[in-house]
Amino acid sequence: MKVQNKVIIVTGGGSGMGRELVLHLLSKDARIVAIDINEAALQGTAELTGNKRNSLSTFVVDITNRNSIEKLLNDAITQYGQVDGIINNAGIIQPFVKVNELNYEIIERVMNINFYGTLYMIKTFLPHLLTRPEAHIVNVSSMGGFLPVPGQTIYGASKAAVKLLTEGLHSELAGTNVKVTVVFPGAVNTNITKNSGLNTPAQSAAENKSIKILSATKAAEIIIEGMENDRYRILVGKDANFMDRFYRLNPKAAAKLITDKMQALISK
């Protein structure tokens, strides 16, 4: 689906990759509804839009609250008269600890935002999207959604759920006007650690030494290019592309490689 003149909702649009998705879509003459739980972050995105400001609407929304998402649908249609696409980008990571050390509150928060937030958006907007001449759903999973990452096991489980939800939805909507795409970013330069309520500068530094980080701007370009070409899956970054091939060839060896790289982050 070409995004020009389309109305697209982007979750997590206040910062990081979500902000860059908003700005890139606006540059291609789409009309955007950016949502985030952080009002100040949304304002920061709006301030970067220049002469495209009138093509952007922002709403403070908690995607884990179904009532808030249902209100968003009504607000978006009131504002623009239609919605043609949704990009489920919002997500958080967990503390860099093993499952045995995670409390249920953190586990539920990760699953509620990453999986249920995505599901609520789909369930709320899909009936409307099916009425459009063409529409698109893009769900952001993660490299951790197909490859085990010690210290991020619950995060990975939530993103694996997003992966299979998206792939199942693609099969269910085959032959309809709604296209479906799943995205697997590798290491992208965003502030997801801060947005997840974590303060781990030493951990982030350790990651950056061993992994080449892709800019959020480039990641957004890759995602929108894939969306416009109706890609089934989008791998973002050389690391995601490499690990996708490696994991399919030798899952155990690929898992060990990631485990070795993660030791400095989760060892005590």
Quote the radius of gyration of the chain (alpha carbons, Å).
18
Catalytic position from the list 104, 116, 120, 155 = 155
Exposure class string for 44-78: b at 16+ Cβ within 10 A, else e: ebbeebeebeebbbbbebebbbbebbeebbeebee
**What is the side-by-side order of every strand in the sheet holding 85-88?**
56-60, 31-36, 7-11, 85-88, 135-140, 178-185, 233-236
What is the spatial distance between Cα 214 and Cα 31, in angstroms, rounded to a whole number?
26
**∠ CA 157-148-235, rounded to 5°:** 85
What is the spatial distance between Cα 177 and Cα 96, in angstroms, rounded to a whole number?
41
Q: Is 155 labeled as catalytic in the residue annotation? A: yes
All residues at 6 or more sequence positions from 52 whose CB lies less than 8 Å from its CB, including other chains: 26, 27
The residues annotated as belonging to the active site are: 155
